[in-house]
């Protein structure tokens, strides 16, 4: 039962992400900005919360998050020739690297995830194992 629930959730997430990418590509979206609205003294103020940038294939290549109208952090994404995400680099508001995440794949299955600290030293590692039928 637990496996079925996990499988259903995975399928829904995959369909949702594929659908979003398809609409990003279909609408030729290059950048998406998310604004929150604050109401102060009867006035509505739009506040930029985040900005997402996509390449021509619809893959997310950069995310910028704002806090109190100021840059909070920026994350860049890199993909291999098969369009599989292989690296994420997170930067602080000052532009310094906070952390780097690298993914290793066997075919199209993620098998390892490495998280490095700003100084380049390994912080954590995850190993993904799959059980086939």
**Is pLDDT at 120 greater than 60 in this prediction?**
yes
> What is the residue extent of each domain of the chain?
30-127
Mean of all residue pLDDT scores within the chain: 86
Task: Please give the CATH topology (third level) of the domain spanning 30-127.
Answer: Lipocalin (2.40.128)
Place of tokens 């799959």: 130
**Is pLDDT at 131 greater than 70 in this prediction?**
yes
**Is pLDDT at 68 greater than 60 in this prediction?**
yes
Task: Supply the DSSP string of 21-81, one letter for each residue.
Answer: HHHHHHTT--EEEEEEEEEETTEEEEEEEEEEEE-TTS-EEEEEEEETTEEEEEEEEEE-T
Confidence of residue 20 (pLDDT cuts 50, 70, 90): low
* Cβ–Cβ < 8 Å for 99, 90: yes
Q: Is 60 exposed, middle or buried (0-12, 13-18, 19+ CB in 10 A)?
A: buried
Residues 65, 70, 71, CA angle at the centre, nearest 5°? 40
Question: What does the pLDDT read at residue 71?
Answer: 94
Q: What is the pTM of this model?
A: 0.76
Name the nearest CA neighbour of 124 among 100, 107, 105: 100
């Amino acid at each position: 039962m637990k496996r079925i629930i996990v499988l259903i959730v995975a399928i829904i997430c995959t369909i949702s992400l594929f659908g979003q990418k398809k609409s990003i590509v279909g609408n030729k979206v290059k950048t998406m900005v998310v604004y929150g609205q604050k109401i102060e003294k009867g006035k509505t103020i739009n506040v930029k919360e985040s900005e997402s940038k996509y390449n021509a294939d619809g893959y997310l290549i950069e995310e910028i998050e704002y806090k109190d109208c100021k840059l909070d952090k920026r994350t860049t994404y890199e993909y291999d020739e098969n369009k599989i995400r292989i690296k994420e680099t997170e930067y602080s508001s000052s532009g310094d690297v906070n952390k780097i995440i690298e993914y290793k794949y066997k075919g199209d299955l993620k098998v390892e995830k490495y998280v490095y600290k700003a100084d380049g030293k390994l912080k954590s590692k995850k190993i993904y194992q799959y059980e086939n039928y």
